[in-house]
């Protein structure tokens, strides 16, 4: 992680040294002596950067190196905050029209502008002092690195991955007979009779393929049609029987009383860890009253779980043979590449297969690592010193560690951030992964200014290395979501255990973090059950906060939020998801956010209480993502939204009460996503966004949904939208709200390019 952070800081410093692309760091020149300090920073970081790759690989076995890296990360985070704070102050001056005029004119224009300018200069002096302090710490770290005999290693560069190179590994290798046996037991093909619902437990070590086998069986058409209802739940290592029961019933689309009826049920409980009988008893008692022929399929690493679950059948998965592991590795590493059929790689490949130790996940990971690599690179993997590490964790961690170090440092950061998502979470590429990575600055490296495209490249790289699985595709074959194997999740959680915390708490007392631990946390995800007090204090270094409510009994007071935002001023990513009945003091909540100057990502979802965003939100000049998913009571965006000049994603999906957009959205020329678009067709209201205001939004991508409101269509407004210039999206859906509106008028006036598919619909975002 430290490598990517230092790399990002180096790019910021390079911008300072050259004045920045748009002179974004002119504030440095205002202050005496800062230029020399920046040059000193550059020298220190360059010296450290040379040995970072070696330090990252040694930290797993050398405690001193791990501590050195922790201190370096702390300094890097602080430096990033300093640079961001200085740049933010300048952006605010420019937005307010203060930074672009001569000083004398600013003073004459208003005393407020005069005061604003000098207060920021005072802040810059404070930042200069902080830079000097950071330099002293870097001096110490630079001296210390020589004690650990760190050497310069080759730094991996990202390689472009085509979507066609993402190998489909859905075929199950070496488990055909086991699958047939389980299917027979599930579908009641055996001669065994019983009065109760039966449980079948699949037992095996991590990475051996339990979940893949169980999901393949669960999704089999014959299984789906055999049972009246089916439900799949990932139990994982956090056990709360009420939550599990709700998840099961949600999958069955039933209430508890329906478990007693005459319908046969097929239930998959994946990745079960709890073997305490008192935990399972309430659920087992309920299930036992189900109809004869119902089945529960359980996967677990712990044999005692099968006993507690009173399993009718226990099936232990054995390791795969080397022949089967070779089939998997060959399919991923060689098929469809320039190396396919290369006999010279097979001798090394068989040696690598021995390292898999019969684990299909290891074969997949190594296959992804070796794909499109040269013979020399295959030999380097085979002879890597990482195989000699004695990790006190799952054996598979060694294989994953090798694949992890095969990634460029920036992509490693993206992978490690996935620890903030719960196990078995369906991660949406364009909604969860890429916006998160972008908000945290992980997509800033390189010359590609299109961060979304860089995020897509990084995702494909991680998928090609088998860090993701269970891909879902749309009708065009484009992957839109994925999941992470539970072992891979354990792996990233292990590497981020000091900085990323994911907790499910039923009350404030169950948070389980002491004050010293909270201070180290950078990324926190909370699923909160009941209680009115916000369970967080002392998180001064927090950069990501995701809070969701597991039921309707959770509330947040204005005082809780005030304390949170006062102490967690470094937040880049903030997401609050509430159930529909949650009472939220919306106005106070949002006003308290105005001082979160670093905030890039804001998502508020599932709230009926949020009616509007206050104008104070428009002070968040770094905001890149604003998502109001299913805030069904939401009525109005702020009129000053045009000040959010860095906004790239604006989504109001599911905001059924929102009737119009403010005019200022037309000034947000950085927008890549505007979903959906609510536009006046006649442009008669000066405060409302009209279809003609799309004129300068030429960077909008993918599909565009437009609801044209008003009485009639003004053809000049349609022409002003200049749809012919919108080359980045390929599909346009239009819903006509006005009675006098005609489809032919829209087509004639808009003159869409032939590559743009236009569809008129009576449905809205179906």
The alpha-helical segments, DSSP class H, found in 208-270 are 210-218, 221-226, 241-252
Its pTM stands at 0.86
Task: Report the Cα 519 to chain-centroid distance in Å.
Answer: 23
Residue 104, pLDDT score: 41
Residue 279, pLDDT score: 77
Token pair, residue 159, equals 């390689």
Token pair, residue 320, equals 């795969």
Q: How far apart are CA 742 and CA 744, in angstroms?
A: 6
Residue 111, pLDDT score: 38
On the question of a cis peptide bond just before residue 737, with omega within 30 degrees of 0, the verdict is: no
Please give the angle made by the CA atoms of 680, 623 and 135, to the nearest 5 degrees.
Answer: 160
Residue 515, pLDDT score: 65
Residue 10, pLDDT score: 61
Q: Determine phi and psi for 421, rounding to 5 degrees.
A: -90, 140
Q: How far apart are CA 761 and CA 607, in angstroms?
A: 28
Please give the angle made by the CA atoms of 178, 183 and 187, to the nearest 5 degrees.
Answer: 160
Q: Which residues of the chain have a pLDDT value below 70?
A: 1-33, 97-124, 155-171, 189-196, 237-243, 249-262, 286-292, 391-394, 445-449, 506-516, 529-536, 550-558, 578-589, 765-766
Cβ(208)–Cβ(291) under 8 Å?
no
Domains of the chain, by residue range, sit at 2-148, 163-169+320-488, 176-316
Burial of 7 from C-beta contacts in 10 A (0-12 / 13-18 / 19+): buried
Query: CB under 8 Å to 124, separation ≥6 — which residues?
Result: 27, 30, 31, 86, 89
Residue 762, pLDDT score: 83
C-alpha distances (whole Å) from 226 to each of 201, 288, 294, 297, 554 are: 19, 19, 10, 14, 40
Query: 3-class SS at 727?
Result: coil
Per-residue three-class SS string for 510-532: HCCCCHHHHHHCCEEEEEECCEC
Instruction: Domain 176-316: give its CATH architecture.
Output: 3-Layer(aba) Sandwich (3.40)
Burial of 147 from C-beta contacts in 10 A (0-12 / 13-18 / 19+): exposed
Closest to 479 in 3D by CA, of 411, 434, 418, 429? 429
Neighbours of 577 (CB within 10 A): 17
Q: How far apart are CA 24 and CA 20, in angstroms?
A: 5
């Amino acid at each position: 992680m430290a490598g990517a952070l230092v790399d990002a800081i180096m790019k910021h410093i390079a911008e300072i040294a050259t004045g920045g692309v748009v002179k974004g760091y002119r504030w440095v020149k205002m202050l005496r002596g800062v230029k020399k300090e920046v040059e000193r920073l550059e020298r220190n970081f360059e010296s450290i950067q040379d040995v970072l790759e070696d330090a990252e690989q040694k930290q797993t076995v050398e405690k001193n190196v791990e501590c050195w890296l922790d201190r370096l990360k702390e300094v890097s985070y602080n430096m990033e905050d300093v640079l961001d704070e200085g740049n933010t102050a300048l952006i605010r001056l420019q937005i307010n029209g203060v930074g672009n005029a001569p000083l004398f004119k600013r003073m004459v224009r208003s005393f407020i502008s005069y005061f604003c300018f000098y207060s920021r200069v005072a802040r810059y002096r404070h930042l200069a002092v902080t830079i000097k302090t950071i330099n002293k710490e870097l001096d110490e770290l630079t001296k210390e690195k020589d004690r650990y005999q760190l050497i310069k290693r080759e730094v991996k560069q990202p390689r472009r991955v085509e979507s066609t190179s993402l190998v489909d590994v859905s075929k199950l290798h070496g488990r055909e007979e086991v699958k047939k046996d389980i299917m027979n037991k599930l579908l009641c093909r055996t001669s065994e009779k019983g009065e109760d619902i039966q449980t079948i437990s699949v037992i095996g070590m991590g990475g051996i393929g339990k979940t893949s086998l169980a999901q393949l069986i669960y999704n089999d058409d014959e299984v789906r049609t055999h049972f009246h209802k089916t439900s799949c739940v990932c139990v994982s290592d956090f056990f709360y029987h009420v939550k599990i029961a709700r998840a099961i019933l949600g999958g069955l689309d039933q209430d508890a009383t329906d478990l007693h009826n005459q319908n046969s049920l097929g239930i998959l409980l994946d990745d079960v860890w709890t073997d305490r009988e008192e935990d399972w008893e309430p659920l087992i008692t309920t299930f036992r009253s189900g109809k004869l022929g119902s089945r529960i399929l359980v996967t677990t690493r712990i044999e005692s779980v099968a006993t507690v679950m009173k399993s009718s059948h226990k099936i232990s998965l054995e390791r795969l043979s080397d022949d089967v592991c070779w089939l998997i590795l060959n399919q991923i590493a060689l098929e469809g590449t320039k190396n396919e059929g290369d006999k010279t790689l097979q001798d090394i490949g068989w040696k690598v297969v021995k390292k898999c130790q019969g684990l299909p996940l290891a074969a997949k990971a190594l296959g992804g690592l070796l794909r499109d690599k040269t013979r020399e690179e295959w030999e380097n993997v085979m002879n890597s010193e990482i195989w000699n590490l004695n990790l006190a964790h799952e054996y598979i961690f060694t294989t994953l560690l090798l694949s992890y170090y095969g990634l460029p440092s920036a992509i490693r950061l993206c992978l490690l951030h996935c620890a903030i998502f719960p196990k078995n979470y369906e991660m949406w590429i364009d909604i969860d992964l890429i916006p998160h990575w972008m908000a945290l600055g992980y997509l800033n490296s390189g010359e590609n200014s299109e961060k979304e495209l860089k995020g897509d490249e990084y995702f494909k790289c991680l998928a090609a290395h088998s860090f993701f699985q269970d891909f879902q595709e749309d009708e065009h074959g484009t992957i839109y979501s994925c999941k992470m194997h539970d072992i891979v999740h354990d792996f990233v959680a292990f590497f981020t255990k000091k900085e990323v915390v994911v907790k499910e708490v039923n009350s404030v007392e169950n948070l389980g973090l002491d004050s010293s631990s909270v201070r180290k946390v950078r990324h926190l995800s909370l699923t909160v059950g009941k209680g009115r007090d916000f369970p967080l204090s002392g998180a001064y270094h927090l950069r990501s906060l995701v809070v969701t409510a597991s039921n309707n009994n959770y509330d947040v007071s204005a005082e809780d939020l005030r304390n949170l935002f006062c102490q967690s001023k470094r937040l880049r990513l903030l997401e609050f998801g509430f159930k529909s009945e949650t009472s939220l003091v919306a106005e106070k909540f949002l006003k308290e956010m105005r001082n979160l100057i670093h905030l890039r990502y804001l998502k508020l979802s599932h709230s009926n209480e949020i009616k509007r965003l206050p104008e104070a939100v428009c002070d968040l000049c770094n905001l890149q993502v604003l998502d109001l998913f299913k805030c069904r009571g939401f009525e109005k965006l702020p009129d000053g939204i045009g000040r959010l000049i860095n906004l790239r994603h604006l989504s109001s999906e599911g905001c059924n009460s929102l009737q119009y957009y403010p005019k200022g959205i037309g000034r947000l020329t950085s927008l890549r996503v505007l979903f959906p678009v609510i536009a006046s067709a006649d442009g008669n209201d000066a405060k409302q966004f009209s279809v003609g205001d799309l004129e300068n939004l030429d960077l909008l991508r993918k599909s565009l949904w437009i609801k044209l409101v008003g009485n009639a269509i003004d053809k000049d407004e349609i022409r002003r939208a200049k749809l012919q210039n919108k080359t980045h999206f390929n599909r346009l859906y239009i819903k006509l709200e006005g009675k006098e509106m005609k489809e032919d008028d829209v087509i004639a006036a808009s003159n869409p390019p032939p590559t743009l598919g236009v569809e008129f619909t009576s449905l809205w975002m179906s």
